[in-house]
Amino acid sequence: MKKVVIAGGGTAGWIAAAALSRQLGRLIEIVLVESDEIGTVGVGESTIPTARSFNALLGLDEPEFMRATQATFKLGIAFEDWARVGDRYVHSFGQVGTSTWIAEFHHFWLEARARGLAGEIGDYCFELQAAEAGKFATGSDTTINYAYHLDATLYGRFLRARSESHGVTRVEGRIASVEQDPENGFIRALAMESGERVEGDLFIDCTGFRGLLIEQTLRAGYEDWGQWLATDSALAVQTGSVGPALPYTRAIAHRAGWQWRIPLQHRVGNGLVYASAHMEDDDARALLIEKLEGEAITEPRLIRYRTGRRRKTWDKNCIALGLASGFVEPLESTSIHLIMIAVTRLMQLFPFSGISDAVVNRFNEQARSELESIRDFIILHYKLTERDDSAFWRQCRDMAVPDSLAERIGLFREAGFAYQASEDLFRVDSWVQVMLGQRLQPLGHHRVGELMGSERIQQSLADLKGKIAAAVQRMPTHQAFIDRYCAPASA
């Protein structure tokens, strides 16, 4: 297995090319095939903190990367109108309070809350308070957990330049057909419309929703999750900035879905996610335009999708990445992470000696387990609604959910327990912030907090809140930090 062929560019293709060439470039040959005539979805503009680790793995300089992609910092997501119209909470990337080996922080908080001694749980999270204050700083003096808002198209271009400097060969053109070995069905070559053949040993499918290799050729199959995640359409549009960039994404619910606002350095990314069974395209477009802040600088672009996953992410000698592997709607900004983690697993399990069923099965099982956990976390936001103002929200509220999620909800409702399993992306703090934000109040909790006594627990919480407030007070505004940190190198 010496030659890797990546079918398709965009964010997925160039992430794969950049990582493979950086880490394994001296061991393998890498060719990427793409056509300038084929557009990319390109609206994956919000990330989670794992993107920082991946960028470090690529050896990227953060200020250079941020200038190239017009990126801003992200401390979490603000959810508006989800449990009830008028509600608002923040799912931050921070650690909430300080946990012990016997109980997570929120159990102590629940005990204090029951005694009337605690404020909102977000009072005890540094990142959440910084987000709410519009503050940001990073460096040796500040420990803060953050991600990025970025221009996905510019990110792809940035990674293309890095990849080509590390020896990746780019072939321009459309794929006319896919050639398979008649004996075992393995892919042998991509036949281009130009007549060129691009042969390879291992193929990576980054052809988006159409899955040219993994589905149209290998028929890997697709598991549809539409019964739990009813949205299937999105309209995306870019607007000019109307104020300082906020250090968080806004996710604002509407009667048939939700809309996003993602602040970049040079513009704002906007989108409206909706269920076509509950909202006509023209109505969605009108609602999007009505809710825009700032002048539109592009025309709204319609994107159709089907939430679910390929039954096999790795089939024969083909691995699907990005949209070709499946799609969980963008509510928690996991799309780019899923590309990055899949490439990381591929590098760890790279089949230098040939395709092994054991390796393929391990790769597929890890991908399935993580994606199902992410799926459950997204469904959680919809299921735990009390909205009764539209058929869409009533459907979400009343739907049956996967057993794995029902168990999590029951565990938190009955005893206040939350957990992060081995393949789970989201931490305990994430599950707790969303469940509490969606008004799921536990009936019970671990009583270890009783051992502290009222005076001690109240003082501990007050001290923690005060330290966080003081630290946030000392920070510059997010916009001021961006302006300085991302200034041109020559400035």
Can you list the domains of the chain with their CATH numbers?
Answer: 3-45+151-226+310-355 (3.50.50.60), 91-143+373-474 (no CATH), 233-304 (no CATH)
Q: Which of the four pLDDT bands, split at 50, 70 and 90, describes residue 152?
A: very high
* pLDDT for position 36: 85
pLDDT at position 58 over 70: yes
Alpha carbon separation from 172 to 34, 169, 326 (Å, rounded): 5, 10, 25
pLDDT at position 488? 84
Q: Which pLDDT belongs to residue 179? A: 98
Number of H helices, E strands in the chain: 14, 21
User: Quick check: helix, strand or coil at residue 68?
Assistant: helix
The stretch 290-311 carries a mean pLDDT of: 94
pLDDT at residue 37, as a whole number: 78
Rounded to an integer, what distance in angstroms lies between the CA atom of residue 430 and that of residue 331?
A: 13
Chain position carrying tokens 């095939």: 33
Residue 39 has pLDDT above 80, yes or no: no
Q: Report, as an integer, the average pLDDT of 221-246.
A: 96
Using an 8 Å Cβ cutoff, are 366 and 349 in contact?
no
Pairing of strands 308-310, 233-239: unpaired
What percent of the chain stands above pLDDT 90?
95
3-state SS record for 372-427: HHHHHHHHHHHHCCCCCCCHHHHHHHHCCCCHHHHHHHHHHHHHCCCCCCCCCCCC
| Pair type for strands 308-310 and 222-224 | antiparallel
> Averaged over 73-87, what is the pLDDT?
98
Question: Catalytic site residue 74?
Answer: yes
Long-range contacts of 456-462 (CB under 8 A, 24+ apart): 457/108, 457/111, 457/112, 457/115, 457/117, 458/112, 458/117, 458/118, 461/109, 461/112, 461/117, 461/118, 461/119, 461/123, 461/124
Report the candidate in 45, 85, 437, 433 with the shortest Cα–Cα distance to residue 260.
45
Whether residue 462 is predicted with pLDDT greater than 80 in this model: the reply is yes
* pLDDT class of 40 with cuts at 50, 70, 90: low
Among candidate residues 254, 328, 264, the one with its CA nearest the CA of residue 285:
254
Q: How far apart are CA 228 and CA 371, in angstroms?
A: 14
Q: What percent of the chain has pLDDT over 70?
A: 98
pLDDT at 43: 64
Average pLDDT, the chain: 95
The strand pair at 3-7 and 308-310 is best described as unpaired
Separation CA 95–CA 433 (nearest Å): 10
Give every strand in the sheet of 314-315, ordered side by side. Answer: 169-172, 29-34, 3-7, 202-205, 318-320, 314-315
pLDDT at residue 87, as a whole number: 98
Q: Contact at 8 Å (CB) between 43 and 269?
A: yes
Asked if residues 206 and 94 have their Cβ atoms less than 8 Å apart, the reply is: no
Predicted TM-score (pTM) of this structure: 0.95
**Is the pLDDT at 42 greater than 80, yes or no?**
no
Q: What is the pLDDT of residue 44?
A: 60
- Return d(Cα 163, Cα 10) in angstroms, integer: 13
Choose the catalytic residue: 74, 135, 312, 316: 74
